Structure 1
Amino acid sequence: MKKNMGMTDRVIRSVVAVVIAILYFANVITGTLGIILLILACVFLLTSVVSFCPLYPILGMNTCEKSDEL
């Protein structure tokens, strides 16, 4: 699996995930939408940690500065 996410992309995803989690646990977003967004936040955090987004190769995207393998 090659890295395909740059540092900026990883930071943005992490911040969005944390904001979604805070809004969910503060009961600002609730119900089905809240659960869907919480799952999305988990996916964002996971892809940020491993520096790989499985959707990027399908779309032909790569935000990584260099193509190092993990």
Structure 2
Amino acid sequence: MKKNMGNSDRVFRIIVAAILVGLYFSEVLTGTIGIIALVVAGIFALTSLVSFCPLYTLFGIKTKAKT
């Protein structure tokens, strides 16, 4: 699995995940929407930790700088 995410993309995903988790636990997002937000936050956190996004592979996107 080749890394295809750059640092700015990873930071952005972590920030969005933290916001979604915060909105869920502050009860702004509840019910089904809250659960979906937690799942999306988990996916964002996981993909940013491993620097790989499967959807980027499908669409041929790479945000990682070439070295």
> Structure 1, unaligned stretches of length 5 or more?
none
TM-score by length of 1: 0.92
Superposition RMSD on alpha carbons, in Å? 0.9
Going by fraction, where is helix more abundant, 1 or 2? 2
Please list every run of at least 4 consecutive aligned residues from structure 1 whose deviation after the TM superposition is greater than 6 angstroms.
Answer: none
Give the drift of 1:25: 0.3
Equivalent residue pairs, number:
67
> Structure 2, unaligned stretches of length 5 or more?
none
Matched, 1:63 2:60: no
Partner of 1:34, secondary structure, is: helix
1:29 aligned residue: 29
Partner of 2:11, secondary structure, is: helix
2:39 aligned residue: 39
